[in-house]
Protein backbone atom coordinates (compact mmCIF):
# COMPACT_ATOMS: atom_id res chain seq x y z
CA UNK A 1 0.00 0.00 0.00
CA UNK A 2 2.68 2.47 1.03
CA UNK A 3 4.85 1.29 -1.81
CA UNK A 4 2.24 2.37 -4.33
CA UNK A 5 1.71 5.61 -2.46
CA UNK A 6 5.40 6.40 -2.81
CA UNK A 7 5.06 6.55 -6.58
CA UNK A 8 1.58 7.92 -7.02
CA UNK A 9 1.15 10.69 -4.52
CA UNK A 10 2.75 13.12 -2.15
CA UNK A 11 3.59 11.38 1.06
CA UNK A 12 4.01 12.36 4.66
CA UNK A 13 6.74 10.42 6.43
CA UNK A 14 7.96 10.73 10.01
CA UNK A 15 11.20 9.61 11.57
CA UNK A 16 10.95 9.12 15.31
CA UNK A 17 14.31 8.90 17.08
CA UNK A 18 14.61 8.42 20.84
CA UNK A 19 16.89 10.93 22.54
CA UNK A 20 20.21 9.73 24.03
CA UNK A 21 18.49 6.40 24.13
CA UNK A 22 20.58 4.05 26.31
CA UNK A 23 21.39 6.84 28.77
CA UNK A 24 17.76 7.96 28.91
CA UNK A 25 16.69 4.39 29.73
CA UNK A 26 19.16 4.49 32.62
CA UNK A 27 17.74 7.81 33.81
CA UNK A 28 14.25 6.38 33.70
CA UNK A 29 15.30 3.35 35.72
CA UNK A 30 17.06 5.53 38.29
CA UNK A 31 15.73 9.10 38.24
CA UNK A 32 18.20 10.20 40.92
CA UNK A 33 20.99 10.34 38.29
CA UNK A 34 19.03 12.83 36.16
CA UNK A 35 20.84 16.15 35.91
CA UNK A 36 24.25 14.53 36.28
CA UNK A 37 26.40 13.55 33.31
CA UNK A 38 25.44 9.93 32.49
CA UNK A 39 27.82 7.87 30.38
CA UNK A 40 26.84 4.40 29.17
CA UNK A 41 29.91 2.30 28.44
CA UNK A 42 30.89 -0.87 26.65
CA UNK A 43 33.65 -2.15 28.90
CA UNK A 44 36.04 -4.44 27.08
CA UNK A 45 37.20 -5.96 30.34
CA UNK A 46 40.96 -5.71 29.73
CA UNK A 47 41.59 -2.99 32.26
CA UNK A 48 39.13 -1.19 34.47
CA UNK A 49 38.59 1.67 32.01
CA UNK A 50 39.24 0.03 28.68
CA UNK A 51 36.38 0.21 26.24
CA UNK A 52 34.26 2.81 24.49
CA UNK A 53 31.36 5.11 25.27
CA UNK A 54 28.10 3.76 23.85
CA UNK A 55 26.22 6.98 24.43
CA UNK A 56 25.94 9.83 26.92
CA UNK A 57 23.15 12.11 28.08
CA UNK A 58 23.10 15.74 26.99
CA UNK A 59 24.62 16.92 30.27
CA UNK A 60 27.71 14.77 29.57
CA UNK A 61 27.76 15.91 25.95
CA UNK A 62 28.33 19.48 27.13
CA UNK A 63 31.70 18.21 28.41
CA UNK A 64 32.51 16.73 25.01
CA UNK A 65 31.58 13.16 25.87
CA UNK A 66 29.94 11.29 22.96
CA UNK A 67 29.43 7.87 21.37
CA UNK A 68 32.59 6.07 20.34
CA UNK A 69 35.23 7.85 22.41
CA UNK A 70 37.39 5.81 24.83
CA UNK A 71 36.04 5.52 28.36
CA UNK A 72 39.35 6.83 29.71
CA UNK A 73 38.96 9.99 27.61
CA UNK A 74 35.39 10.45 28.87
CA UNK A 75 36.65 10.09 32.43
CA UNK A 76 39.31 12.71 31.89
CA UNK A 77 36.75 15.11 30.39
CA UNK A 78 34.57 14.59 33.45
CA UNK A 79 37.38 14.78 35.99
CA UNK A 80 36.20 16.40 39.23
CA UNK A 81 32.57 16.22 38.03
CA UNK A 82 29.91 14.13 39.77
CA UNK A 83 29.31 11.90 36.76
CA UNK A 84 27.71 8.46 36.46
CA UNK A 85 29.36 5.70 34.41
CA UNK A 86 27.23 2.63 33.73
CA UNK A 87 27.70 -0.58 31.72
CA UNK A 88 25.34 -1.18 28.78
CA UNK A 89 22.27 -3.29 29.56
CA UNK A 90 21.09 -4.17 26.05
CA UNK A 91 18.32 -6.47 27.24
CA UNK A 92 16.70 -3.70 29.24
CA UNK A 93 16.96 -1.19 26.37
CA UNK A 94 15.53 -3.79 24.00
CA UNK A 95 12.48 -4.25 26.26
CA UNK A 96 11.91 -0.49 26.45
CA UNK A 97 12.40 -0.24 22.69
CA UNK A 98 9.87 -3.02 21.98
CA UNK A 99 7.19 -1.29 24.00
CA UNK A 100 7.80 2.08 22.38
CA UNK A 101 7.84 0.55 18.89
CA UNK A 102 4.40 -0.92 19.60
CA UNK A 103 3.10 2.54 20.48
CA UNK A 104 4.60 4.02 17.30
CA UNK A 105 3.29 1.22 15.12
CA UNK A 106 -0.24 2.08 16.24
CA UNK A 107 0.13 5.54 14.70
CA UNK A 108 1.38 4.48 11.27
CA UNK A 109 -0.24 3.44 8.00
CA UNK A 110 3.08 1.73 7.32
CA UNK A 111 5.84 1.20 9.81
CA UNK A 112 9.55 0.46 9.48
CA UNK A 113 11.80 0.07 12.48
CA UNK A 114 15.42 1.08 11.89
CA UNK A 115 17.58 -0.27 14.66
CA UNK A 116 16.84 -0.10 18.35
CA UNK A 117 15.82 3.53 18.77
CA UNK A 118 14.25 4.83 15.59
CA UNK A 119 11.45 4.13 13.15
CA UNK A 120 9.86 5.53 10.03
CA UNK A 121 6.10 6.03 9.98
CA UNK A 122 4.19 6.66 6.77
CA UNK A 123 1.17 8.71 7.92
CA UNK A 124 -0.08 9.92 4.53
CA UNK A 125 -3.52 8.35 4.77
CA UNK A 126 -4.36 9.08 8.35
CA UNK A 127 -3.38 12.73 7.96
CA UNK A 128 -5.06 12.95 4.54
CA UNK A 129 -1.76 14.30 3.28
CA UNK A 130 -2.11 17.41 5.43
CA UNK A 131 1.14 18.70 6.93
CA UNK A 132 -0.48 20.53 9.82
CA UNK A 133 -2.34 17.41 10.80
CA UNK A 134 0.89 15.47 10.62
CA UNK A 135 2.58 17.99 12.87
CA UNK A 136 -0.24 17.61 15.42
CA UNK A 137 0.02 13.85 15.16
CA UNK A 138 3.76 14.06 15.84
CA UNK A 139 3.05 16.13 18.96
CA UNK A 140 0.51 13.53 20.08
CA UNK A 141 3.03 10.74 19.57
CA UNK A 142 5.64 12.61 21.59
CA UNK A 143 3.11 13.10 24.38
CA UNK A 144 2.12 9.43 24.33
CA UNK A 145 5.69 8.15 24.45
CA UNK A 146 6.40 10.52 27.32
CA UNK A 147 3.35 9.66 29.43
CA UNK A 148 3.37 5.92 28.73
CA UNK A 149 7.11 5.28 28.65
CA UNK A 150 8.64 8.34 30.33
CA UNK A 151 11.04 8.99 27.45
CA UNK A 152 11.53 11.93 25.12
CA UNK A 153 12.07 11.59 21.40
CA UNK A 154 12.71 13.83 18.43
CA UNK A 155 10.49 13.66 15.37
CA UNK A 156 11.11 14.85 11.85
CA UNK A 157 8.17 15.17 9.47
CA UNK A 158 8.73 15.48 5.74
CA UNK A 159 7.70 14.29 2.26
CA UNK A 160 10.05 11.28 2.35
CA UNK A 161 12.44 9.26 4.52
CA UNK A 162 15.51 11.28 3.60
CA UNK A 163 14.01 14.61 4.64
CA UNK A 164 12.27 13.14 7.72
CA UNK A 165 15.58 11.76 9.00
CA UNK A 166 17.44 15.03 8.60
CA UNK A 167 14.51 16.92 10.14
CA UNK A 168 14.56 14.63 13.19
CA UNK A 169 18.25 15.38 13.73
CA UNK A 170 17.72 19.10 13.24
CA UNK A 171 16.43 19.83 16.74
CA UNK A 172 17.45 17.52 19.53
CA UNK A 173 16.58 16.51 22.19
CA UNK A 174 12.78 16.61 22.45
CA UNK A 175 12.43 18.25 19.03
CA UNK A 176 9.70 18.36 16.42
CA UNK A 177 10.61 19.62 12.98
CA UNK A 178 8.19 19.81 10.07
CA UNK A 179 9.56 20.37 6.59
CA UNK A 180 6.82 21.03 4.08
CA UNK A 181 7.42 20.06 0.43
CA UNK A 182 7.88 23.68 -0.62
CA UNK A 183 10.51 24.20 2.09
CA UNK A 184 12.63 21.14 1.36
CA UNK A 185 15.35 22.79 -0.69
CA UNK A 186 15.72 25.87 1.48
CA UNK A 187 15.81 23.62 4.56
CA UNK A 188 18.55 21.39 3.16
CA UNK A 189 20.67 23.98 1.36
CA UNK A 190 22.66 25.38 4.34
CA UNK A 191 23.34 21.97 5.93
CA UNK A 192 26.72 20.28 5.56
CA UNK A 193 26.71 17.41 3.04
CA UNK A 194 27.57 15.02 5.86
CA UNK A 195 23.96 15.17 7.03
CA UNK A 196 22.81 13.24 3.95
CA UNK A 197 22.47 9.50 4.51
CA UNK A 198 25.31 7.81 2.62
CA UNK A 199 27.78 10.68 2.89
CA UNK A 200 30.53 9.48 5.19
CA UNK A 201 33.80 11.09 6.12
CA UNK A 202 35.54 9.98 2.91
CA UNK A 203 32.82 11.29 0.60
CA UNK A 204 32.72 14.50 2.60
CA UNK A 205 36.46 14.99 2.01
CA UNK A 206 36.13 14.20 -1.67
CA UNK A 207 33.28 16.67 -2.11
CA UNK A 208 35.26 19.28 -0.23
CA UNK A 209 38.05 19.04 -2.80
CA UNK A 210 35.40 19.80 -5.44
CA UNK A 211 34.42 22.90 -3.47
CA UNK A 212 31.20 21.33 -2.20
CA UNK A 213 30.57 21.86 1.52
CA UNK A 214 26.82 22.37 1.81
CA UNK A 215 23.85 20.46 0.44
CA UNK A 216 22.91 23.57 -1.55
CA UNK A 217 26.31 23.58 -3.27
CA UNK A 218 25.88 19.88 -4.01
CA UNK A 219 22.46 20.60 -5.56
CA UNK A 220 24.02 23.15 -7.89
CA UNK A 221 26.98 20.95 -8.80
CA UNK A 222 26.87 19.54 -12.33
CA UNK A 223 25.30 16.08 -12.12
CA UNK A 224 27.44 14.68 -14.97
CA UNK A 225 30.61 15.71 -13.18
CA UNK A 226 29.28 14.13 -10.02
CA UNK A 227 28.67 10.89 -11.91
CA UNK A 228 32.19 11.16 -13.33
CA UNK A 229 33.62 11.22 -9.81
CA UNK A 230 31.35 8.81 -7.94
CA UNK A 231 29.96 6.56 -10.69
CA UNK A 232 26.46 6.55 -12.11
CA UNK A 233 24.53 5.13 -9.18
CA UNK A 234 26.13 7.05 -6.36
CA UNK A 235 26.48 10.26 -8.36
CA UNK A 236 22.78 10.22 -9.22
CA UNK A 237 21.91 9.38 -5.64
CA UNK A 238 23.91 12.32 -4.25
CA UNK A 239 22.32 14.64 -6.77
CA UNK A 240 18.77 13.54 -5.91
CA UNK A 241 19.52 13.54 -2.19
CA UNK A 242 20.78 17.12 -2.35
CA UNK A 243 17.42 18.11 -3.86
CA UNK A 244 15.56 16.21 -1.15
CA UNK A 245 14.26 13.67 -3.65
CA UNK A 246 13.78 10.14 -2.28
CA UNK A 247 11.25 7.52 -3.38
CA UNK A 248 12.14 4.79 -0.88
CA UNK A 249 8.89 3.41 0.54
CA UNK A 250 8.35 2.91 4.26
CA UNK A 251 8.39 -0.85 4.39
CA UNK A 252 7.67 -3.24 7.20
CA UNK A 253 10.70 -5.46 7.85
CA UNK A 254 10.23 -9.20 7.86
CA UNK A 255 8.37 -10.67 10.81
CA UNK A 256 10.19 -11.49 14.04
CA UNK A 257 11.17 -15.10 14.53
CA UNK A 258 9.75 -15.18 18.01
CA UNK A 259 8.09 -13.06 20.65
CA UNK A 260 9.07 -13.59 24.27
CA UNK A 261 8.87 -12.09 27.71
CA UNK A 262 10.85 -12.92 30.82
CA UNK A 263 10.61 -11.63 34.35
CA UNK A 264 12.23 -12.08 37.75
CA UNK A 265 10.18 -13.60 40.57
CA UNK A 266 10.07 -12.00 44.02
CA UNK A 267 11.89 -15.06 45.37
CA UNK A 268 13.20 -18.33 44.01
CA UNK A 269 10.43 -20.93 43.97
CA UNK A 270 9.24 -24.37 42.83
CA UNK A 271 5.61 -23.51 43.49
CA UNK A 272 3.69 -24.08 40.25
CA UNK A 273 0.90 -21.67 41.21
CA UNK A 274 3.35 -18.84 41.87
CA UNK A 275 5.24 -19.53 38.66
CA UNK A 276 2.07 -19.72 36.58
CA UNK A 277 0.71 -16.54 38.10
CA UNK A 278 3.67 -14.66 36.63
CA UNK A 279 3.92 -16.78 33.46
CA UNK A 280 0.25 -16.14 32.56
CA UNK A 281 0.81 -12.41 32.93
CA UNK A 282 3.73 -12.74 30.49
CA UNK A 283 1.50 -14.78 28.15
CA UNK A 284 -0.97 -11.88 28.07
CA UNK A 285 1.81 -9.48 27.08
CA UNK A 286 3.17 -11.77 24.38
CA UNK A 287 -0.34 -12.36 23.10
CA UNK A 288 -1.10 -8.64 22.91
CA UNK A 289 2.00 -8.16 20.81
CA UNK A 290 1.01 -11.02 18.49
CA UNK A 291 -2.41 -9.50 18.01
CA UNK A 292 -1.04 -6.05 17.25
CA UNK A 293 1.24 -7.52 14.63
CA UNK A 294 -1.41 -9.92 13.33
CA UNK A 295 0.75 -12.98 13.94
CA UNK A 296 -0.11 -16.57 14.71
CA UNK A 297 2.20 -19.09 16.35
CA UNK A 298 2.89 -22.77 16.15
CA UNK A 299 5.45 -23.30 18.95
CA UNK A 300 5.40 -22.42 22.62
CA UNK A 301 8.40 -22.48 24.96
CA UNK A 302 9.05 -21.77 28.58
CA UNK A 303 12.32 -20.63 30.10
CA UNK A 304 13.58 -20.89 33.62
CA UNK A 305 16.64 -19.20 35.01
CA UNK A 306 17.49 -21.06 38.21
CA UNK A 307 18.93 -19.60 41.40
CA UNK A 308 22.41 -20.69 40.24
CA UNK A 309 21.76 -18.83 36.93
CA UNK A 310 21.62 -22.05 34.91
CA UNK A 311 19.11 -21.73 32.06
CA UNK A 312 16.47 -24.35 31.27
CA UNK A 313 13.77 -24.55 28.65
CA UNK A 314 11.00 -26.77 27.36
CA UNK A 315 8.96 -26.39 24.22
CA UNK A 316 6.03 -27.75 22.33
CA UNK A 317 4.95 -27.42 18.71
CA UNK A 318 1.37 -27.64 17.51
CA UNK A 319 0.44 -29.28 14.26
CA UNK A 320 -1.24 -26.11 12.97
CA UNK A 321 -0.65 -22.41 13.58
CA UNK A 322 -3.03 -20.87 16.08
CA UNK A 323 -3.88 -17.52 17.60
CA UNK A 324 -5.56 -19.00 20.66
CA UNK A 325 -4.59 -17.48 24.04
CA UNK A 326 -6.10 -20.36 26.03
CA UNK A 327 -4.07 -22.91 24.08
CA UNK A 328 -0.98 -20.81 24.72
CA UNK A 329 -1.59 -20.78 28.48
CA UNK A 330 -2.47 -24.48 28.55
CA UNK A 331 0.82 -25.27 26.82
CA UNK A 332 2.73 -23.05 29.23
CA UNK A 333 1.12 -24.81 32.21
CA UNK A 334 1.91 -28.24 30.77
CA UNK A 335 5.53 -27.27 30.12
CA UNK A 336 6.09 -25.85 33.61
CA UNK A 337 4.51 -28.96 35.16
CA UNK A 338 6.78 -31.10 33.05
CA UNK A 339 9.82 -29.02 33.94
CA UNK A 340 9.15 -29.15 37.71
CA UNK A 341 8.56 -32.90 37.44
CA UNK A 342 11.86 -33.47 35.67
CA UNK A 343 14.12 -30.97 37.37
CA UNK A 344 14.87 -30.19 40.98
CA UNK A 345 15.82 -26.54 40.54
CA UNK A 346 13.94 -23.52 41.87
CA UNK A 347 13.03 -20.77 39.43
CA UNK A 348 14.49 -17.30 39.80
CA UNK A 349 13.33 -15.90 36.45
CA UNK A 350 10.55 -17.29 34.29
CA UNK A 351 9.83 -16.66 30.65
CA UNK A 352 7.45 -17.62 27.88
CA UNK A 353 7.99 -17.56 24.15
CA UNK A 354 6.06 -18.23 20.96
CA UNK A 355 7.86 -19.01 17.73
CA UNK A 356 7.25 -20.45 14.26
CA UNK A 357 5.31 -17.28 13.57
CA UNK A 358 3.30 -16.47 10.50
CA UNK A 359 0.82 -13.88 9.33
CA UNK A 360 -2.80 -14.21 10.38
CA UNK A 361 -3.95 -13.42 6.83
CA UNK A 362 -1.93 -16.35 5.56
CA UNK A 363 -3.62 -18.64 8.05
CA UNK A 364 -6.99 -17.43 6.82
CA UNK A 365 -5.93 -17.94 3.23
CA UNK A 366 -4.87 -21.49 3.97
CA UNK A 367 -8.17 -22.22 5.69
CA UNK A 368 -10.10 -20.69 2.81
CA UNK A 369 -8.21 -22.82 0.34
CA UNK A 370 -8.89 -25.85 2.47
CA UNK A 371 -12.60 -25.26 2.96
CA UNK A 372 -13.28 -23.69 -0.42
CA UNK A 373 -14.21 -20.07 -1.11
CA UNK A 374 -15.86 -18.13 1.70
CA UNK A 375 -19.50 -17.12 1.31
CA UNK A 376 -20.07 -13.41 0.67
Binding range to ligand DCP, per CB under 6 A, among 14-22, 210-218, 327-335, 347-355: 14-22
Residue 319 a catalytic site member: no
For ligand DCP, the closer CB: 11 or 142 = 142
Contact 163, 246 (CB under 8 A): yes
> Would you say 198 and 235 are in contact if contact means Cβ atoms under 8 Å apart?
no
- 17, 112, 246, 278: which one contacts Ca ion (CB under 5 A)? 17
Of 15-23, 99-107, 336-344, 361-369, the window that binds ligand DCP (rule: CB under 6 A) is: 15-23
Q: Which is nearer to Ca ion, 117 or 246 (CB)?
A: 117
Task: Calculate the dihedral angle through the C-alpha atoms of 144, 147, 153, 159, rounding to the nearest 10 degrees.
Answer: 10
Asked if 148 and 107 count as a contact pair (C-beta separation under 8 A), the reply is no
State the chain's maximal CA–CA distance in angstroms.
75
Please answer whether residues 159 and 7 qualify as being in contact, where contact means their C-beta atoms are separated by less than 8 angstroms. no
For Ca ion, give the closer residue by CB, 55 or 124.
55
Q: What number of chain residues touch ligand DCP (CB under 6 A)?
A: 13
Residue 300, burial from CB neighbour count under 10 angstroms (0-12, 13-18, 19+): buried
Q: Determine if 27 is a binding residue for ligand DCP (CB under 6 A).
A: no
Q: Which is nearer to Ca ion, 120 or 287 (CB)?
A: 120
Alpha-carbon separation of residue 176 from 96, 109, 343 (angstroms) = 21, 20, 54
Segment interacting with Ca ion (CB under 5 A) among 7-15, 20-28, 102-110, 211-219: 20-28
At 121, is the secondary structure helix, strand, or coil?
strand
Instruction: Reduce the DSSP state of residue 219 to 3 states and report it.
Output: helix
Any contact of residue 117 with Ca ion (CB under 5 A)? Answer: yes
Kindly state whether residue 112 participates in binding Ca ion, applying the rule CB under 5 A: no
Rank residues 198 and 307 by Cβ distance to ligand DCP and give the closer one. Answer: 198
Does 195 interact with ligand DCP (rule: CB under 6 A)?
no
**Binding status of residue 117 toward ligand DCP by CB under 6 A:** yes
Stretch that binds ligand DCP, among 17-25, 185-193, 207-215, 244-252 (CB under 6 A): 17-25
Using CB under 6 A, pick the residue from 6, 54, 97, 124 that binds ligand DCP: 54
Name every residue whose Cβ is closer than 8 Å to that of residue 307 and which is 6 or more positions away in sequence. Answer: 268, 345, 346, 348
* Dist CA 328 CA 246 (whole Å): 44
Q: Which residues bind ligand DCP (CB under 6 A)?
A: 17-22, 54-55, 67-68, 117, 172-173
Q: Which residues are catalytic?
A: 118
Amino acid sequence: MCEVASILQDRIVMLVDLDYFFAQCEERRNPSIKGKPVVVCVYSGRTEDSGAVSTANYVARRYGVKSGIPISLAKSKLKDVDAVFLPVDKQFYREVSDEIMEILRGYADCFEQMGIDEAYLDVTQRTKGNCREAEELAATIKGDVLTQQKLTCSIGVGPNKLVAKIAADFQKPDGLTLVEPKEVQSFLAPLPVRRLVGVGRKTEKRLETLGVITVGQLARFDVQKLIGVFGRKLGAYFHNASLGVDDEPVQERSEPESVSRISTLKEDTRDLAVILDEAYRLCDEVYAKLMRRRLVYRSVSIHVVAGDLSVHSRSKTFENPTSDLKAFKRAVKELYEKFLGESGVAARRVGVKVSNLSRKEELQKQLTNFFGFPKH
